[in-house]
Amino acid sequence: MTQLPDGPRVSILICSYNYEAFVGSAIESALAQSWPNIEVIVVDDGSTDDSWSVIASFGPRIQAIHQSNGGQGAAYNTALGASQGDWVIWLDSDDLLDADCITRCVALITPDTNKVAFPMRVIDAQGRATGNVIPYTMHQGDVRPTLRRFGHYGGPPGSGNLYRRSAVERFFPIDVRTWPTCADTVPFVVSAAQGPVAASAQPLGSYRIHKRANKELGLFGNVLESLVQTLLRDDKRRYAATAMVGAELGLSSDSELLPTPTQMRTRIISWRLQHATHPYPQDTRVSLLRRASRSLAAWPGYGLAARLAQLAWAACMLVAPQSLVARLVRMNVSDSLKQMVRRVAD
């Protein structure tokens, strides 16, 4: 029997659905890790394209699992159940890890660390860097006060989080009816509800944007929904995750969670662009500006300049003539604007 190297065993879990064009690169980045004690598990969740052929081509270097389509939650359950690692990372099948990612994350682990997070470079469909890095705010240490207020905290997308197995395993398997999407919210929240989060200052992976941002609605990312769907989905996942934490750990949260600054911007856009279908009928210009101010004040990591810049955008969105609204909405997904705000804040 081969003697495993010293140090924790890390499971890289890749869940894929119809990402034939990208899943091979994700697997290659997982296999290229400099940390020697890893296993790579790939779950194909009933893809209808040629993903399985790509996955199977890696042979015994990975553990490949094919299952009927059950959604992201089902794939997360299968991947974790098949793994043996002391630490686990769910790598989205369109994202990439730097070769030294796991090695550098392991170096940040202390006895009480439940999660190690790292920023991610944004790349396009062809793997070219856009120059942007996410997230804008990266919270670390004890983030439970922020969790109580928002049901969330500042951190990277799912691929940018390495979790202590014992901090997440007790919450699995998750309900596949509740989590057909957004399953990454569960480990993201429950790990931080139990102990400190460590964070790398440097990007250690790449987050791929391969669908054009819906700039007319101010939406950014690969899941392009309507404004109403985006707002209701975000509310659902935050309240569902905090309910799990409350039931299992007894960690109380505010009865009405504050929207994060990002969610607040989407809410303002929805109220202005699609007033007839806006899902919060109690909203007014004054109440939205007040709520945005409360959100920015309570969200750690924003300096005064960044708060003022975002409040100025919110105020302009709420009072601008209709002829200027479209231009202000597009600013919400502008990388150049975010970089400008970051430079001012720094």
Segments making up each domain of the chain, as ranges: 10-208, 227-345
Residue 329 has pLDDT above 90, yes or no: no
| Mean pLDDT, residues 217-236 taken together | 78
Nearest Cα neighbor of 79 from 173, 160, 161, 177 is 173
Contact 197, 140 (CB under 8 A): yes
Per cent of the chain over pLDDT 90 is 76
Q: Does 121 or 326 have the greater pLDDT score?
A: 121
- pLDDT of 153-179, one tens digit each? 999 999 999 999 999 999 999 999 999
| Mean pLDDT, residues 17-28 taken together | 97
Give domain 10-208's CATH number out of 3.90.550.10, 3.30.450.20, 3.90.45.10, 3.40.50.720. 3.90.550.10
Residue 218's pLDDT is what? 63
- What are the structure tokens assigned to 3, written together? 């003697």
Least confident of 198-202, 267-271, 288-292, 302-306: 302-306
Radius of gyration of the chain (CA): 20
Alpha-carbon span 95 to 87, nearest angstrom: 19
Residue 4 has pLDDT above 60, yes or no: no
| Mean pLDDT, residues 46-75 taken together | 98
| Geometric angle at alpha carbon 165, from 164 and 167, rounded to 5° | 70
Give the CA distances from residue 90 to residues 25, 101, 234, 304, in Å, rounded to whole numbers and listed in that order. 15, 13, 20, 35
Q: Give the confidence band of 251 by pLDDT, cuts at 50, 70, 90.
A: confident
- What are the structure tokens assigned to 316, written together? 């302009």
Strands 87-92 and 161-164 come out as antiparallel
Q: Does 327 or 19 have the greater pLDDT score?
A: 19
Residue 255's pLDDT is what? 75
